[in-house]
Chains A and B, each alone.
Chain A
Amino acid sequence: MATAVVGSRIKRREDPRLITGEAKYLEDIKLPGLAYAAILRSPYAHANIKSINIDKAKALPGVLGVFTGKDFADVNPLPCAWQAGGVQNNANTPRILEIDKVTFTGAGVAVVVAEDRYTAEDALELIEVDWEPLPVVVDAYKATQPGAPQLHENAPNNVCMEWTVGDQSAVDQALHSADIVVKQHILNQRLIPTPMEPRGCIAQYLAATGEYTIWMTSQAPHVMRLLITAFVFGIPETKVRVISPQIGGGFGAKIFLYPEYCLMPALSKKLGRPVRWMETRSENYISTTHGRDHITDIEVGAKRDGTITSLKVNTYANLGGVLSTIAPGIPTTLYGRMLSGAYKIPNIFCRVFGVYTNTGMVDAYRGAGRPEATYVVERAVDLVARELNMDPVEVRRKNFIQPEDFPYDPIILRGLKYDSGDYDKALDRALEMLDYANFRKEQAEARQQGRYLGVGFSTYIEICGVAPSAWIGLPGEGWGAALWESANVRVHLTGKVVVTTGSQTHGQGHETSVSQVVAGELGIAVEDVTVQHSDTLGTPFGYGTYGSRSTAVGTVAVYNSLQKIKEKAKALGAHMLEAAVEDVVFQDGKVHVKGAPDRAKTIQEIAGAAALAYSLPQGMEPFLDDTTYYDPPNCTYPFGTHICVVEVDPSTGSIEIKRYIAVDDVGNVINPMIVEGQVHGGIAQGVAQALWEAAVYDENGQLITGSLMDYALPRADFFPPFELDRTETPTPVNPLGVKGAGETGTIAATPAVVNAVVDALSPLGIKHLDMPLGADKIWRVIQEHTNGV
């Protein structure tokens, strides 16, 4: 990474089409003869479908077809591609339209296709369904108790899987001999990811060739093609081309295979027309996946000096009415295995029940398991500090994994080791930005005046760059595939470079950061690089973009191809310069003879010579072109310290965020501007969980927060400016030294805020509060505690 282009804040290359409105998102694509689909969704959370009458809907002028689940009885249910590793999973997945029974409000049961969207929606109202409502359960703990309504025959007590990590008896023993043990019941409420662009799909079937082209809002187009062809339709992969057009955010919710992505191609085949379905926001809220939703009990044991000796965790993870594509993997591998946090905790045991309830599907949402784990760990550390009357900063320092401990084996990661870190350094920097000593003085004064000022810390780590295939795959963690990434780099005759990648970008700016790496390595202008992605035609297979893996895995694939291209360029350059390969170097876009920088050939000249192939060294193939499949040897482990300062107004219960400080270490950074943007957005989502957002179902399984009117998505005036800094500890895992930055903010922020509010209210004897910390709740808690005191 010699050239300064890597590490610089260059403006994003994708922006011109976005700021002018020229970019084509799914709903902007129009095909000749396009027909419009609308889906009838279950108004009941749990019901049998006794019959469906579509006659009136069919008769409406402009309607092209009306179909129910029975019309697609020969199509397989969707696959669950990540079952919890090493245990029995009682999997139940959606069908493209449900046939006999629904287990959540919003499940699709019929579809109308019409000449325009208004007609399609009118026709939905003419479909008559004879429902037989069944008893409902929405709470994951209650669903496992005797007498609860049963959702699926193969899942007694609604348990999809019971999974454990760690040595239970060792933990019990350690808890027994601990100086103190703190127990806490902790809720991690359900959230709705809410990318600003909802989901959609357009499919076009060509009868002559039997081929489908499917445009979809997907973070993982290659995986979608694999699942649709091999698992749902049972047709060759080559019969389907999947294109993700411009994507308006995903945050996990667009990773998965959804029924509509299979339904549209099936409809296009039936009707001989291209068919489009575009979700409304209200539809998005009930039919697209949600995140989090854990009910947890923890016991944490410690010595009197603050050394944490044991952590025991029991979690009921709500998976919804049926399983989304990778639902069981999130609360197991990505949660239970992360419970050591940044600390040397010698004894950890975690049991997770994955539970079906009559609610929408739950799957990965930004952070995916790691925010839930970080919340548990960072709350636990604060609870210990509180119990011992110690400074939470000191308890953290006492338990931190030290720089010399790396690679660090937390045991519960089943052989993977934390790569690198200097946790104190990030903490020191953040404390300096806060001016901690002064803050505590200010807090003491505020308390004198009856003001509730608090500070909260989150010294998080996370796991990125998922993952070594053999570790995460079927024999290990139950992931039903591999997790390498691929890239192809071609240097065209004119010296312009085209990179094709299996990664997908939906806001992360890969076109820019990948171009920077290419430009830096080959010594060419960023503008001379084109990055192509998101179309299964013409890009090598890739597993897609999630788990902060596109830089730490996908871009490393690009980097490795660049090394091989440079080697070939050196060989050809030496040939052109009539020098021996050992006597030349590749530097700043040129191959030159060592000690004679003027005897040089530029990469453009070499690319031209490689393409023309008039004179190549013996045995060399024409063209500078290389493909890499990169399977990472380990994950990467970003870390940092987030600090939140709040003041609670006791008269209203409202919380003001006075400062928000974030010092993150994501390893080396390709474009600091992009990384900061990722951190800002991540913090906003994490703070929003702590204070405002919650997906709430009533007892009948109706989503009360079913639109943007009711779901408290934060607005610009909810936040103060975030104060950011970074430390840079490169990872030894990959040659770029990059760890990944897409999720750190979300993972870190939530406990920082909650810890701050609990700290503010600690004079009242408050030790824990469940999220979201809305003003009404805080006001009530203050009332209860002041009256009781």
Chain B
Amino acid sequence: MQVKITVNGTLHERDVTPRTLLVHFLREDLALTGTKIGCDTSQCGSCTVHLDGKALKSCTMLAVQADGSDVQTIESLAQDGPLHPMQESFWEKHGLQCGYCTPGMIMASIALLENNPHPSDEEIRHGLEGNLCRCTGYQNIVAAVKNASEKMGG
């Protein structure tokens, strides 16, 4: 099936099988491998991207369902050069160890701040409950999001 999906500002027209997941379309068809896969039950959030401005677990959607949409992946954030303040904050606050959850975590965190520019620690922890991290114990992720919220002057 033919789909037209804008990814990171570029329109892609591709032929995909109906059962291709959006995450596989991004990773295999477009070679955007920054988005990760950590589970098969929509639990981990490693695959989080933005679809039409909202955070979405890209393993929960078929590529054909995303036809006509605008998708942003982790690769979009620093595509014009400087790091996004959320990326900077994860770096500064040691919000990552193995880095596997990180692209999804950063995309989810950006969406979180869009909805709530001044979150409390508790709101951050709550807001990220769809994203699993096995390395950090989450503490420095919370600090990173907090830091980004200050940086972004939200």
Contacts and interface: CB of A to CB of B under 8 A. Distances in A.
A196 B74 contact: no
A22 B34 contact: yes
B78 to A, nearest CB: 5
B133 interface: yes
Contacts of A677: 94, 97, 135-136, 140
A508 interface: yes
Contacts of B41: 281-282, 707-709
Interface stretch (B50-58, B63-71, B124-132): B124-132
B143 to A, nearest CB: 9
Interface string A280-295: 1110000000000000
A25 B36 contact: yes
A622 interface: no
B29 to A, nearest CB: 11
Given A15-B90, A27-B27, A251-B134, 14 more contacts: A11-B91, A12-B91, A15-B96, A21-B103, A118-B17, A195-B100, A197-B38, A248-B100, A507-B98, A676-B140, A716-B126, A716-B138, A721-B139, A745-B137
A196 B101 contact: yes
B60 to A, nearest CB: 13
Interface of A: 11-12, 14-16, 18-25, 27-28, 30, 118, 194-198, 246-249, 251, 280-282, 506-509, 673-674, 676-678, 680-685, 707-709, 713, 715-717, 719, 721-722, 745
A217 to B, nearest CB: 11
A481 B95 CA distance: 36
A196 B104 CA distance: 12
B interface bracket (residues with beta carbon within 8 Å of A): 35 or more
A684 B137 CA distance: 5
A18 B102 contact: yes
Contact of B44 (A24, A196, A681, A682): A196
Contacts of B17: 118
Contacts of B97: 249, 507-509, 677-678, 681
B142 interface: yes
B98 A717 contact: no
Instruction: Name the 4 nearest CB pairs between A and B, nearest first.
Output: A21-B34, A248-B100, A18-B99, A507-B98
B36 to A, nearest CB: 7
Given A21-B35, A708-B41, A717 B134 contact: no
Contacts of A21: 32-35, 73-75, 103
A508 B78 CA distance: 25
Given A20-B83, A508-B97, A709 B134 contact: no
7 contacts: A20-B78, A118-B19, A280-B40, A281-B38, A677-B136, A681-B134, A685-B137
B98 A247 contact: yes
A246 to B, nearest CB: 7
A197 B129 contact: no
Interface in B72-125: 73-75, 77-78, 83, 87, 90-92, 94, 96-103, 106, 121-122, 124-125
Contacts of A716: 124-126, 128-129, 131, 133, 138, 141-142
A717 B34 contact: no
B149 interface: no
Contacts of B77: 20
Contacts of A745: 137
A20 B134 contact: no
B135 A681 contact: yes
Contacts of B36: 25, 196-197, 248
B2 to A, nearest CB: 19
Interface string B4-40: 0000000000000101000000010001111111111
Contact of A16 (B73, B91, B100): B91
A281 B40 contact: yes
Contact of A12 (B44, B94, B124, B134): B94
B137 A722 contact: yes
Nearest to A27: B37
A282 B126 CA distance: 26
Contact of B136 (A16, A27, A195, A681): A681
A717 B91 CA distance: 22
Most chain-B Cβ atoms within 10 A of its Cβ — which of A20, A22, A194, A674?
A: A20
A272 to B, nearest CB: 23
Nearest to B21: A118
B74 A20 contact: yes
A196 B38 contact: yes
A226 B14 CA distance: 44
Given A19-B83, A282-B40, A195 B129 contact: no
B132 A715 contact: yes
Contacts of B147: none
B116 to A, nearest CB: 15
A708 B44 contact: yes
A514 to B, nearest CB: 16
A195 B126 CA distance: 22
A722 B137 CA distance: 9
A684 B96 contact: no
Contacts of B141: 716
A249 B100 contact: yes
A691 to B, nearest CB: 14
B69 to A, nearest CB: 19
Contacts of B38: 196-198, 248, 281
A682 B36 CA distance: 23
A673 B94 contact: yes
Given A11-B91, A20-B78, A713-B134, A708 B35 contact: no
A92 to B, nearest CB: 30
Contacts of A684: 136-138
B136 A680 contact: yes
B125 A717 contact: yes
A15 B95 CA distance: 10
Contact of B133 (A28, A196, A198, A506): A196
Contact of B90 (A19, A248, A281, A708): A19
A198 B39 CA distance: 8
A18 B39 CA distance: 19
Most chain-A Cβ atoms within 10 A of its Cβ — which of B32, B100, B103, B124?
A: B100
Contacts of A16: 91
Contacts of B138: 680, 684, 715-716, 719
Contacts of B142: 716, 721
B137 A23 contact: no
Contacts of B39: 281, 707-708
A678 B135 CA distance: 8
A601 B103 CA distance: 45
Contacts of A27: 27, 33, 37
A684 B142 CA distance: 14
A654 B19 CA distance: 42
A280 to B, nearest CB: 5
A528 B138 CA distance: 31
Contacts of B136: 677, 680-681, 684
Contacts of A12: 91, 94
A27 B31 CA distance: 11
Nearest to B34: A21
Contacts of A509: 97
Contact of A23 (B87, B99, B125, B139): B99
A681 B133 CA distance: 9
B43 A20 contact: no
A246 B90 CA distance: 18
Contacts of A508: 97
A745 B134 CA distance: 13
Contact of A249 (B83, B92, B98, B137): B98
Nearest to B102: A18
Nearest to A24: B33
B101 to A, nearest CB: 5
A355 to B, nearest CB: 28
A673 B91 CA distance: 11
A506 B98 contact: yes
A197 B129 CA distance: 18
Contact of B139 (A247, A680, A717): A680
B73 to A, nearest CB: 7
